[in-house]
Amino acid sequence: AKDEAAPAALPDDLLLAVATTAPAVAATGGDAAPPTYRTRIPAAARVDYRLSRGAITGSGEIDWRPQGSGYVLRLEGRVPIIGTLITQTSRGGFDAAGLAPERYTDKRLRRAEQAASFQRGAGVISFSGQSPEQPVTPGVQDRLSVMLQLAAIANAWSKPPPAGEHFLIRVVGARGDAHVWSLRFEGLQSVDTPAGSVRALRFLREPEGPQDTRAEFWLDPARQYLPVRARLTDGSSDAFELLRVN
């Protein structure tokens, strides 16, 4: 597969722009719903990555398909001999806050698939397991769509903000976890890839506890801010990393 991130202009209904709004209190958990941001949805792309988790290495692919009023986003990671390590899919539409997920699935090696369903009419997010429902709040993302939502936010900038600015995105996992991720903009950094060095915008989310997720994203301004590198770490396993190869 080849990167296709140099596309034609998107239709106007995918160029979503809203003013930042004040936080509102979420229905459960006492968390404040984060603000919404102006977004410009990246056009379709399929990007190949080198995947690593500890000493295990393989290949990965992100397939991003916005079409009309909806989208399909898929991440697949494979390793030799073992096979498919991870498959995540996010399907949804678009609204004034950017991506609006409707269903997110997460399938790991030797584990049953887990799913989160965003029932926007009812205002709740339900899960395939026994986890209690969560409220739907403006701009809420799943653990896959958050990468494209962050790219859509950056894609709408006329210029990058000052280093140190925080972007708040509520992120929901397939197993019922929900947190407001505070992603700190770290400025431009060089990322060494098999195709050469890339100057990318780095965002960092520090974990809130020992088992929480540390998230790092490096977004490429030359390719609509799609991630050139992504690294997710929690307290119970090795870091999961994607590095673009083309």
CATH number at residue 122: 2.50.20
- Average pLDDT value for residue range 23-43: 67
Within-domain flag for 2: no
- Average pLDDT value for residue range 172-185: 94
Within-domain flag for 1: no
Q: What is the pLDDT of residue 23?
A: 31
Per-residue pLDDT at 49 exceeds 90: yes
Q: How many other CB atoms are found less than 10 A from the CB of residue 167? A: 19
Model pLDDT for residues 81-134, shown as the tens digit of each residue = 999 999 999 999 999 999 999 999 999 988 889 999 999 999 999 999 889 999
Within-domain flag for 4: no
Within-domain flag for 184: yes
Domain count, the chain: 1
Model pLDDT for residues 210-226, shown as the tens digit of each residue = 778 999 999 999 999 99
Per-residue pLDDT at 156 exceeds 60: yes
Per-residue pLDDT at 55 exceeds 90: no
**pLDDT band at 4, cuts 50/70/90?**
very low
Within-domain flag for 117: yes
Q: What is the pLDDT of residue 210?
A: 76
Per-residue pLDDT at 25 exceeds 70: no
The range of the structural domain enclosing residue 114 comes to 12-244
Q: What is the pLDDT of residue 238?
A: 84
Within-domain flag for 134: yes
Q: What is the pLDDT of residue 54?
A: 85
Within-domain flag for 7: no
Within-domain flag for 220: yes
Per-residue pLDDT at 32 exceeds 70: no
- The rounded percent of the chain whose pLDDT value lies above 70 is 87
